A = this chain, B = another copy of it.
Amino acid sequence: MLKEERLNYILNEVKVRNRVLLYDIAIKLNVSEDTIRRDLKFLDEQGKIKKVHGGAVSNSFHIYNYKEDDIYAHADKSQIGRKAISLIKEEQVILMSGGTTNLELARLMPDHFPLTIFTPSLPVALQLLEHPNIETIFVGGRLSHEAQIALGGDTLNTLAQVKADVCFLGTGYLDVQEGLTEFDWEVVQLKKSMIRASKRVVALTISEKLSSIQRFKVCDTESIHTLITELPPDSPTLGGFQKIGLEII
């Protein structure tokens, strides 16, 4: 039995049972407790589980393939997510695009009141399903291998039938002059449809992606109602956006 296999087994047990005993796993996998102890320690160091006296427990933070360390600028995105949540009200209909910032928002979504959320993003949808009070509606269509989102005609048609209260647009590049831009033509079409389908458009972006311009244009800066970054609203970096009167959170 390979170390890798043990690690997988352990991760699965932790996921399913929320806790594991050193002894049980050692018996089950037919190795010494020492070995399992080292495995648990290793997985703990990776942040995948939490080692405790006599075994390990789930880290409850990690569901699915969601690995915080793998997400670039995770702390920033987490903060953006928390700010975004302050905009959400009970019973609202929300539209969420893809990207790791939205994925983080999906993870942080409030649990205590009902919401209806439309998304074309597979990872975001999976994350939303963790929240029992959220009705998640997947906007279907042809899936993009890399981005793991639905794109193309079907998706746009479906979006044309939706009218959401808020749309959270993740990823993308934002510049005061040039507006919101993307490097994938199909993603541009998708975002345009999402903007059309929402009363209020909220752009979520880490400050690093501000003042960057890509090939294709999604919309003018004026079409965006609210901008959320990890920076405080009065940060000089956001000066250009403050000047044109964009709401900044």
Contacts and interface: CB of A to CB of B under 8 A. Distances in A.
A21 interface: yes
> What interface size band does chain A fall in?
35 or more
Interface string A55-67: 1010001111101
A129 B150 contact: no
A140 B150 contact: yes
B137 A137 contact: no
Of A11, A54, A129, most buried by chain B (CB within 10 Å of CB) is A129
A140 B140 contact: yes
Of the listed residues A16, A62, A65, A140, the one surrounded by the most CB atoms of chain B closer than 10 A to its CB is: A140
- Interface residues of A, dominant DSSP: mixed
A125 B15 CA distance: 21
A138 B122 contact: yes
30 contacts: A2-B52, A2-B57, A3-B54, A4-B57, A5-B19, A12-B65, A12-B67, A15-B65, A15-B67, A16-B67, A62-B65, A63-B65, A64-B64, A64-B65, A122-B125, A122-B138, A125-B143, A126-B126, A126-B148, A128-B143, A129-B143, A136-B142, A137-B141, A137-B154, A138-B138, A138-B143, A138-B150, A140-B141, A140-B150, A140-B154
A2 B137 contact: no
A188 interface: no
A132 interface: yes
A5 B71 CA distance: 12
A110 to B, nearest CB: 16
Interface of A: 2-5, 8, 11-12, 15-16, 19, 21, 50, 52-55, 57, 61-65, 67-68, 122, 125-126, 128-129, 132, 135-143, 145, 148, 150, 154-155, 158
Contacts of A145: 129, 132
A140 B157 CA distance: 12
B129 A148 contact: yes
Nearest to A145: B129
Contacts of A154: 137, 140, 158
A2 B142 CA distance: 40
Contacts of A63: 65
Contacts of A53: 2-3
Nearest to A128: B143
B132 A4 contact: no
